[in-house]
Amino acid sequence: MATVITPPTSEPITIDEARLHLRVDHCDEDELINTLITAAREQAEHIIGRAIMPQTLELELSSFSGDITLEHPPIVSVESIKYLDATVAEITLLAGDYVLTNGYIKPVTAWPSGSAVKVRYVAGYADAESVPAGIKAWIKLAIGTWYAKREGMTADEKAQTLPHGFYDGLLDRYRLWRL
């Protein structure tokens, strides 16, 4: 499982876009709205299995074995591949020793024998303008729902939801389905 090393430095929805969607014309709740934007992006990333905004991730493997599949596409670049050799010295592979193709890393010749492999890479859409409209719409709907209903519902309350499947259906075409 990949771990976030450096989180995104920006969000796919700006505070102004969120305020417009929420019909909020003041800055009094910007801290809350910014928190909701981040939470909605993180939830969308969890649902679709993709990185939305550029972020640095690290994938740890016990050893080299075939092609390395990087999680949370789209993959922007590989920063480094490090491993422990037989003497337990940390070795960094040269960029020319591997090729990144469609989210897979393939060795140019063969992987070295080693253990405790760490692949550090950048994943996410290039910028907010590159994030698909369906993902942005889902994030705005999540922000709106959470903003309007700030507390958890009690058993007596009826959920105010969108038509069944519509809300999450916005993310379906971007979701990575695992078998």
pLDDT for position 162 = 46
**CA separation for the pair 7, 175 (Å, rounded):** 20
**CA separation for the pair 105, 51 (Å, rounded):** 18
Other Cβ atoms closer than 10 A to 79? 15
**Structure confidence by residue, pLDDT tens digits, 104-129:** 999 999 999 999 999 999 999 999 99
What SS3 state is found at 44?
Answer: helix
pLDDT for position 81 = 98
**CA separation for the pair 15, 147 (Å, rounded):** 13
Please determine, for residue 161, whether its predicted confidence score (pLDDT) is greater than 70.
no
**Structure confidence by residue, pLDDT tens digits, 43-78:** 999 999 999 999 999 999 999 999 999 999 999 999
Across 135-152, average pLDDT: 90
**CA separation for the pair 65, 109 (Å, rounded):** 13
Paired sense of beta strands 90-92 and 55-63, if any:
unpaired
Least trusted range by pLDDT, from 37-41, 82-86, 135-139, 153-157 = 153-157
**CA separation for the pair 159, 39 (Å, rounded):** 20
pLDDT for position 156 = 56
For all residues of the chain together, what is the average pLDDT? 91
Provide the CA 48 distance to its chain's centre, in angstroms.
8
Other Cβ atoms closer than 10 A to 16? 8
Please determine, for residue 100, whether its predicted confidence score (pLDDT) is greater than 50.
yes
**CA geometry: angle at 40 spanning 145 and 76, to 5°?**
155
pLDDT for position 173 = 83
Structural domains present in the chain: 10-52+128-152+163-172 (1.10.3230.30), 55-123 (no CATH)
